[in-house]
């Protein structure tokens, strides 16, 4: 039989549609929760009688827990199977969300948010590995395109969702609503989610602790540097992160599946794709933290318009991500990512060149250009990361995807704080210009993949 007469490959493995619904709903909850609490911080601080500075830990505790736990949970997914880790993380996340809603004090809320971040770390560490099980290899691109769409929408819609909830209910409902939604996701995923074959190597608890401590210290050190804290507060966590990395490297030397996945990073295509991801999400972090200040303080737009001015980026990403996923099944990720990230860099630069009083249409088409560039890069890059990792290391590859995204966003936010500290009123403009530079770095990393031979 000729190739042309071969039966078509189904877009989704038969009987797995309910699994996909449960998986994507869980991913949406984790992504949304990363952004939803920012808007509610003033209300939370007032209700719990906390200072604004102390209330920041409601956000920091969640982010640190997610970043610190991603690679340990990804390793556990390779050891026990990704299905168990995802379902356990989703259940833990749902219960922790209820604890957040019932928290009687700021300390209780920070503790519950830490638990919630651990649950989110578990489900987000293996979600792309599960996508790989749900879609045939020839059509993995459309699966990761859907995943990219859900993660992106969760991140950019967080402030809008929070505002809508707070207009009709007090802040605990921002967390309490996750319990029924999490149970609904479990109801879809539990009977239908596939599993990977557990690997024979054991789980190294000491390596997991070193990994968690190292990444948490790295984020704290970067944040302290951006805030221009005393040098000791910057150097101490960075030295802890370096010591953890060295100890982890020595402990897992020769391990068939190291928790810090140096084996994957030795693969040029995987390493360049991870670099592309981190640099591009640094651009996204710079943009989404700086743009509200830019619209209000530089372009002199009223605060009520900020959400609407952010909308074109989100809408175009929504349209572009699934299309880019399908294109990644036919064209190399190096080209698609390079074109998309050059477009993003140009869009960021054009935004930075706007003058006070710029028309809404002039802002909107530049935001849409950024969204088109970001949407064109993301799905092909996810496809390249997963396709360049061996099947038995799918959990680790999925963890690297989440780590590069969250570290990039955290670095972007820290760089915005640095720009504000150095440039005062021009800080938002500096941040957008810096975002254009990080997008250009990401484009170069993406195009460098064209020189790598693919199997």
pLDDT at position 352? 96
- Average pLDDT value for the chain: 85
The label of the residue with tokens 């790989």 reads 132
Q: Answer yes or no: do 142 and 265 share one domain.
A: no
The confidence score (pLDDT) of residue 454 equals 61
Give yes or no: residues 41 and 71 share one domain. Answer: yes
pLDDT of residue 409: 82
Question: Which residue from 341, 362, 359, 343 is spatially nearest to 351, judged by alpha carbons?
Answer: 362
Residue 59 tokens read as 């956000």
For the cut 60, the answer to whether the pLDDT of residue 8 exceeds it is: no
Q: Which of 31-35, 347-351, 383-387, 393-397 has the highest average model confidence (pLDDT)?
A: 347-351
In this structure, is the dihedral angle defined by the CA atoms of residues 20, 131, 72 and 35, taken in order, positive or negative?
Answer: negative
Instruction: Output the pLDDT for position 4.
Output: 38
- Over the stretch 137-165, which tens digit does the pLDDT of each residue have? 777 777 777 877 787 777 667 767 777 88
Q: Mark whether 90 and 173 lie in a shared domain.
A: yes
What value does the mean pLDDT take over residues 342-358? 95
Top-ranked range on mean pLDDT: pick from 108-112, 250-254, 387-391: 108-112
Q: How many Cβ atoms sit within 10 Å of the Cβ of residue 298?
A: 20
Summarize pLDDT for 395-414 with one digit per residue, the tens. 788 888 888 888 888 888 78
**Whole-angstrom distance, CA of residue 154 vs CA of residue 25:** 10
Domains: count for the chain: 3
Q: What is the pLDDT of residue 200?
A: 66
Reported as half-sphere exposure (CB side, CA atoms, 13 A), residue 124 has a value of 33
Whether residue 71 sits in one domain with residue 56: yes
Q: Judge if 31 and 100 occupy the same domain.
A: yes
In the predicted model, what is the mean pLDDT of residues 423-442? 93
Q: Which tens digits make up the pLDDT trace of 274-297?
A: 999 999 999 988 998 788 889 888
State the maximum Cα–Cα separation within the chain, in Å, rounded to a whole number. Answer: 73
**Predicted TM-score of the model (pTM):** 0.78
For 257, left (φ over 0), alpha (ψ -120 to 50), or beta?
beta
Q: Are residues 271 and 185 in the same domain?
A: no
Q: Single out the residue in 182, 198, 214 at which a domain terminates.
A: 198
| One domain for residues 214 and 321 | no
Q: What is the pLDDT of residue 5?
A: 35
CATH code at 188? 1.20.1250.20
pLDDT of residue 283: 95
Q: Tokens for 137? A: 């290899």
């Amino acid at each position: 039989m000729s190739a042309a007469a071969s039966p078509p490959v189904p877009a989704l493995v038969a009987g797995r549609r309910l699994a996909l619904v449960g998986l994507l709903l869980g991913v949406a909850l984790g992504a949304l929760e990363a952004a939803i609490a920012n808007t509610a911080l003033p209300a939370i601080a007032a209700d719990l009688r906390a200072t604004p500075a102390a209330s920041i830990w409601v956000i920091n505790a969640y982010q640190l827990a997610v970043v610190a736990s991603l690679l340990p949970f990804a390793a556990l997914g390779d050891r026990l199977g990704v299905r168990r880790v995802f379902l356990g993380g989703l259940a833990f996340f749902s219960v922790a969300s209820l604890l957040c809603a019932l928290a009687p004090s700021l300390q209780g809320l920070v503790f519950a948010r830490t638990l919630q971040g651990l649950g989110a770390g578990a489900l987000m560490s293996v979600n792309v590995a599960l996508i790989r099980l749900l879609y045939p290899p020839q059509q993995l691109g459309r699966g990761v395109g859907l995943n990219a769409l859900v993660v992106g929408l969760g991140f950019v819609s967080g402030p809008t969702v929070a505002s809508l909830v707070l207009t009709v209910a007090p802040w605990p409902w921002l967390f309490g609503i996750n319990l029924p939604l999490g149970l609904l996701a479990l109801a879809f995923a539990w009977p239908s989610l596939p599993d990977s074959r557990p690997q024979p190597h054991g789980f190294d608890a000491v390596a997991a602790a070193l990994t968690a401590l190292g990444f948490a210290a790295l984020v704290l050190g970067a944040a302290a540097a951006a805030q221009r804290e005393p040098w000791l507060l910057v150097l101490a966590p960075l030295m802890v992160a370096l010591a953890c990395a060295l100890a982890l490297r020595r402990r897992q030397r020769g391990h068939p599946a190291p928790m810090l996945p140096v084996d994957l990073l030795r693969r040029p295509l995987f390493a360049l794709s991870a670099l592309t991801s981190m640099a591009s999400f640094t651009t996204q972090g710079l943009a989404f933290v700086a743009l509200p200040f830019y619209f209000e303080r530089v372009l002199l737009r009223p605060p009520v318009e900020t959400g609407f001015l952010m909308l074109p980026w989100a809408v175009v990403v929504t349209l572009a991500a699934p299309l880019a996923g399908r294109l990644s099944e036919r064209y190399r990720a190096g080209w698609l990512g390079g074109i998309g990230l050059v477009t993003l860099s140009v869009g960021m630069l054009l935004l930075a060149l706007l003058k006070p009083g710029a028309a809404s249409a002039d802002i909107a088409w530049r935001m849409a250009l950024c969204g088109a560039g970001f949407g064109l890069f993301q799905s092909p890059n996810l496809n390249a990361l997963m396709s360049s990792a061996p099947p038995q290391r799918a959990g680790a590859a999925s963890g690297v995807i989440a780590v590069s995204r969250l570290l990039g966003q955290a670095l972007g936010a820290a760089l915005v704080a640095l720009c504000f500290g150095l440039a005062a009123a021009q800080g938002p403009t500096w941040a957008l210009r810096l975002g254009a530079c990080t997008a250009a770095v990401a484009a170069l990393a993406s195009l460098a993949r064209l020189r790598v031979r693919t199997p």
